[in-house]
Structure formats: structure tokens, C-alpha cells
């Protein structure tokens, strides 16, 4: 949550707190804030325990982080003993490694040999105003 705050910003916040609240009130403010955070954490933990007990014994290993969409998709696609949606079969069907291995035939690019002359074509002379089939001057 606070991973985007750098050390310089933390120092700036500390200096502002000392200036605003003063050095005599700051320790009391920190204690009150820490007490509030502890109460919120204990309330959240007791709420989680209550929800687990209400769900029943089959959900004892339930984690609330599993409700996050990224975690749910990662857990379903990458592992887990149960596969109610059939993702394991889909994952096994997509075998990219064998498609990228040397088992697939490779095409070798060949360049035309320009040293050999093309066979001479015998064609009828062009009529007046008729263009040859490959006009290099046309743009």
C-alpha cells in the first residue's frame, strides 16, 4: 500500500508532523494511532474467524485472498487439486513447447540463382501500341 513512498517523502512527513504537532504531543499521537491500528486489525481478524465458523468445516482452509480475481485465475490455471471448471484439460491441450521444438519441419529460405540464365522465350512481335507483359517503366 505504501510501497510508492520513498525515503525522502517519509523524512518530509516526519518533519511536517514535528512542526505541526510539536515534539511534546507527537509521541502521544503515535501511540494513539498504533492503538487504533491494533484495534482495527483485531476487529478484522475476529470478523474473518466468525465468517469461517459460519461457513462450516469444509471452508476452514478458506483464505480471503483467494477472492481476488488475479489470485483466483492464477490458482485455477496454475495448480490446485480440484479442477471444477476444466482448466487443467485446457492447459494441457495448449502445448507450446512441442510446437516450438525442432520437431516441426523448417522451411529453408532459398534465393534464386541469378547466375543461370532464364530460358529464352519465343514470342510474337508486339503490335503497334501494345505493351509487353512486364513494363518496368510504368509507375
C-alpha span between 70 and 107 (Å, rounded): 40
Residue with cell 505504501: 2
Quickly state the pLDDT bin for 52 (edges 50, 70, 90). confident
pTM, rounded to two decimals: 0.42
> What confidence tens digit (pLDDT) does each residue in 67-99 have?
788 887 777 677 655 655 666 666 666 666 666
Residue with cell 517523502: 9
Cα four-point dihedral sign 70, 73, 74, 80: positive
Q: What is the mean pLDDT of residues 5-21?
A: 91
> What confidence tens digit (pLDDT) does each residue in 63-73 have?
777 778 888 77
The answer to whether 99 and 93 have CB atoms below 8 angstroms apart is no
Amino acid at each position: 500500500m505504501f510501497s510508492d513512498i520513498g525515503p525522502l517523502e517519509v523524512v518530509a512527513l516526519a518533519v511536517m508532523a514535528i512542526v505541526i504537532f510539536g515534539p511534546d504531543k507527537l509521541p502521544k499521537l503515535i501511540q494513539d494511532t498504533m492503538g487504533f491500528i491494533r484495534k482495527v486489525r483485531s476487529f478484522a481478524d475476529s470478523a474473518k474467524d466468525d465468517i469461517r465458523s459460519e461457513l462450516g468445516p469444509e471452508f476452514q482452509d478458506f483464505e480471503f485472498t483467494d477472492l481476488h480475481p488475479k489470485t483466483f485465475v492464477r490458482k485455477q490455471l496454475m495448480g490446485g487439486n480440484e479442477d471444477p471448471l476444466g482448466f487443467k484439460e485446457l492447459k494441457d491441450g495448449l502445448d507450446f513447447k512441442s510446437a516450438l521444438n525442432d520437431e516441426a519441419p523448417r522451411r529453408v529460405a532459398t534465393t534464386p540463382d541469378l547466375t543461370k540464365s532464364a530460358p529464352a522465350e519465343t514470342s510474337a512481335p508486339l503490335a503497334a501500341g501494345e505493351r509487353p507483359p512486364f513494363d518496368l517503366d510504368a509507375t
